[in-house]
């Protein structure tokens, strides 16, 4: 038996995850393993600068490997063909043929992926959702990202913008959302929502908020969802309560999604997912209490994501590999 | 050329629609036409009696035709295999092998179908949704039935109970719903919700409610969604306003579904659908105002169903034909 030369291993792809502050890239093999990583700060909004950073990262990671394709993941909406950015909060591209530009620069097949779609696909292929025929993946970060894998397909909708679960209106007339509406789910169950509630609690100067205030040296503006999550994991009762509230809203929204989509599993990832059962246990209770038809139907499980922050780049790489085979 | 004997025409199936008050049956050809119909009153809750009525209807409609399969549509949840009723408000069957019983009695292939699934499938195959790759069908009756056809497949979820859009909680702590929750969408945008609002208006003895009161001879309990719809079509301003309110809630819920599912088309059927643009125009305005990402995405159209009340039996028949071919 002759071992394949790893330098020429088939099926290597690069996944790139463009975030608000950094661009992370990974060399991913066909079983979803991250073989190498590289990262840069996200340059300003100039499309040419972002393209230059992508080219640099791909050159670095492909110097010693044959790479078949590159998947680019970012927040925002990509067209169904994976060619054009319709809208992205962190990218200045608007209806630009990003894929075409990058394929010319990289001389490789390129595929554009919504970041939540990439993470969901990775969790279904290699992570918590493996083997589940109907999986909904929720990424709790500053907002709520969502995506679904139905019967082995990433279900992206008619125009490629499905999965915006965070913008189901769950409280008409409620908190204002960046999307322009009021009462969106992500205003109640995201990391940003957690931070906002904690800042309100701190600003009320409640005795229960003393730990929160101490943690930020009294600078209320520095209280974020991440701070609350850390304090809750350390046992601060007020922070535990704040996570419980967020978890209850999370469970209510999941019950709405279960009514509509009836998945077998919800996979919960993203930064706020780090809170683990402090968030997920209240979510499970609230889900069980709010699920329509409870008692007469099987119910989805609610599980933490398995792949961590690399999920996005792993999924983007894998989707680019699949698109390149077509 | 020899004409096929219509008595032996291939692909004939019977669709049966079991409602709360009547059981309707249709002989349906492979292009979705209803060739003959028959109906009976719904017998009590005894499964044997309902089975007997089904057998009678099938005998009547198949006396002169070769019928390949029978699709049974009813409100409630059927298992994915179309064999067992998990739960049904109008049927006493619970986890009973209804399909097996009926196949023995009818000596034909039988398939059980949720009524909203049947209607959606018919609208997609032969009606308003023909040619649309991602269609969501909403049946506005006493409640809100829902179903979706994604990429040519009826998407029924992991356990077969997807599409319960009417039970998305759209107003936490709001109106009590028969499902046991509060604030479900169907408590705001269904025929029952319209009737409830109209009765409240009439009970308040508002001057604007005089037409409503006159129409029911002062018996407020007789005000139903159907009465409001009829009066609105006749031009009663209060009834038009009530339909506008229902339409606004309809549009908000559709915007939630569009955020999650991104369909190309919503098809609106059911009894309340008879209100036509008096309902759909306010719904379209509310949908446009509440759609997340509006202006940056293509949006689904909102269209009236094309097949009327026969949609359920047509879809059930067609789905039984497909299942029988497997």
pTM of this structure: 0.94
The pairing of strands B134-140 and B265-269 is parallel
Percent pLDDT > 70 in chain A is 97
Q: Name the nearest CA neighbour of B119 among B325, B323, B316, B322.
A: B316
Return the residue of B nearest to A165 by Cα. Answer: B260
Question: What's the pLDDT score for residue B325?
Answer: 87
Kindly determine whether residue B260 and residue A259, on different chains, have CB atoms separated by under 8 Å.
no
DSSP label of A184: B
| CATH code for the structural domain at A6-120+310-325 | 3.30.420.40
- Give me the residue label for tokens 């003959």: B36
Question: What's the pLDDT score for residue A8?
Answer: 52
Burial B133-159 (b: 16+ CB within 10 A, else e): ebbbbbbbbbbbbbbbbbeeebbbbbb
Which runs of E-coded beta strand occur in chain B? 13-18, 22-28, 34-41, 69-74, 77-78, 85-87, 109-114, 134-140, 144-150, 153-154, 265-269, 301-304
Question: What's the pLDDT score for residue B177?
Answer: 94
Q: How far is CA A44 from the centre of its chain?
A: 22
Count of Cβ atoms closer than 10 Å to residue A234 Cβ: 11
CATH of range A130-306; options 3.40.50.720, 3.30.420.40, 3.90.1150.10, 3.90.45.10: 3.30.420.40
Does the structure show a pLDDT above 70 at B9? Answer: no
Same topology, domains B6-120+310-325 and B132-306? Answer is yes
Q: Name the nearest CA neighbour of A117 among A289, A290, A323.
A: A323
* A residues 75-134 lying closer than 8 A (beta carbon) to B: 77, 86-87, 132-134
Average pLDDT score over residue span A77-98: 82
What is the domain partition of chain A in residue ranges? 6-120+310-325, 130-306
Does the structure show a pLDDT above 70 at A2? Answer: no
* A residues 152-211 lying closer than 8 A (beta carbon) to B: 153, 155-165, 167-172, 177, 179-181, 184
pLDDT band of residue A207 (cuts 50, 70, 90) is very high
Give the angle subtended at the CA of B14 by the CAs of B8 and B16, to the nearest 5°: 165
Q: Dump pLDDT digits (tens) for B169-225.
A: 999 999 999 899 999 999 999 999 999 999 999 999 889 999 999 999 999 999 999
Return the residue of A nearest to B145 by Cα. Answer: A260
Residue A180: which region, alpha, beta or left (left: phi > 0; alpha: psi -120 to 50)?
left
Q: Dump pLDDT digits (tens) for B149-167.
A: 999 999 999 999 999 999 9
**Phi/psi at B146 (nearest 5 deg)?**
-145, 155
* B residues 281-320 lying closer than 8 A (beta carbon) to A: 290, 292-294, 296-298, 300
For domain B132-306, the CATH architecture is 2-Layer Sandwich (3.30)
B80, B260, B289: best mutation site toward chain A, by most A Cβ within 10 Å? B260
Kindly determine whether residue A262 and residue B158, on different chains, have CB atoms separated by under 8 Å.
yes
Average pLDDT score over residue span A73-92: 85
* A residues 221-260 lying closer than 8 A (beta carbon) to B: 252, 255-257, 259-260
- Give me the residue label for tokens 């092998």: B97
Kindly determine whether residue A259 and residue B298, on different chains, have CB atoms separated by under 8 Å.
no
Kindly determine whether residue A261 and residue B146, on different chains, have CB atoms separated by under 8 Å.
no
* Cα separations in angstroms, B233 against A47, A157, B66, B274: 54, 35, 43, 9
Average pLDDT score over residue span A262-291: 97
Residue A250: which region, alpha, beta or left (left: phi > 0; alpha: psi -120 to 50)?
alpha
Q: Dump pLDDT digits (tens) for A161-188.
A: 999 999 999 999 999 998 999 999 999 9
Average pLDDT score over residue span B236-256: 98
Average pLDDT, chain A: 93
Average pLDDT score over residue span A3-10: 52
Kindly determine whether residue B296 and residue A77, on different chains, have CB atoms separated by under 8 Å.
yes
**Phi/psi at B111 (nearest 5 deg)?**
-140, 130
Q: Which helix (H) or strand (E) holds A14?
A: strand A13-18
ipTM of the predicted assembly exceeds 0.90? yes
Return the residue of B nearest to A79 by Cα. Answer: B297
Question: What's the pLDDT score for residue B45?
Answer: 73
Contact list, A156 vs chain B (CB under 8 Å) = 262
Is-contact A87 B297, C-beta < 8 A? yes
Does the structure show a pLDDT above 90 at B140? Answer: yes
Give Cβ neighbours of residue B84 (< 8 Å, ≥ 6 apart).
Answer: B78, B93, B95, B96, B97, B98, B99, B112
Give Cβ neighbours of residue A75 (< 8 Å, ≥ 6 apart).
Answer: A18, A19, A20, A88, A89, A90, A114, A115, A116, A145
Does the structure show a pLDDT above 80 at B101? Answer: yes
Length of chain A measured in residues: 326
Q: Name the nearest CA neighbour of B248 among A169, A162, A291.
A: A169
Contact list, B264 vs chain A (CB under 8 Å) = 158-159
Kindly determine whether residue B293 and residue A261, on different chains, have CB atoms separated by under 8 Å.
no
Question: What's the pLDDT score for residue B47?
Answer: 82
Average pLDDT score over residue span A77-97: 82
Question: What's the pLDDT score for residue A47?
Answer: 82
First to last CA, chain B: 31
């Amino acid at each position: 038996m002759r071992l394949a030369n790893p330098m020429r291993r088939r099926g290597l792809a690069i996944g790139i995850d463009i975030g608000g502050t950094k661009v992370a890239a990974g060399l991913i093999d066909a079983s979803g393993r991250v073989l190498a990583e590289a990262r840069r700060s996200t340059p300003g909004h100039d499309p040419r600068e972002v393209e230059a950073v992508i080219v640099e990262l791909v050159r670095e990671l492909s110097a010693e490997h044959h790479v078949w394709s590159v998947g680019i993941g970012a927040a925002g909406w990509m067209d169904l063909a994976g060619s054009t950015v319709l809208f992205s909060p962190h990218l200045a591209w608007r209806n630009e043929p990003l894929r075409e530009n990058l394929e010319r620069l990289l001389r490789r097949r390129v595929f554009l992926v919504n970041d939540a779609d990439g993470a969901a696909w990775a969790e279904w292929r290699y992570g918590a959702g493996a083997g589940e025929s109907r999986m909904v993946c929720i990424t709790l970060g500053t907002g709520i990202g969502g995506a679904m894998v139905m019967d082995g397909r990433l279900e992206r909708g008619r125009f490629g913008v499905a999965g915006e679960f965070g913008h189901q209106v769950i409280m008409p007339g409620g908190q204002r959302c960046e999307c322009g509406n009021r009462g969106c789910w992500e205003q109640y169950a995201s990391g940003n929502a957690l931070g906002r509630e904690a800042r309100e609690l701190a600003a009320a100067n409640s005795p229960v908020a003393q730990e929160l205030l101490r943690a930020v040296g009294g600078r209320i503006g520095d209280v974020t969802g991440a701070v609350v999550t850390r304090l809750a994991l350390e046992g601060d009762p007020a922070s535990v309560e704040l996570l419980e509230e967020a978890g209850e809203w999370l469970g209510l929204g999941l019950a709405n999604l279960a009514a509509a989509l009836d998945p077998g599993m919800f996979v919960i990832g993203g930064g706020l997912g780090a809170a683990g059962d402090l968030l997920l246990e209240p979510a499970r209770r609230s889900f069980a209490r709010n699920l329509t038809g409870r008692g007469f139907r099987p119910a989805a499980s609610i599980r933490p994501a398995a792949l961590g922050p690399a999920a996005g780049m792993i999924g983007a790489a894998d989707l680019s590999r699949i698109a390149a085979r077509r």
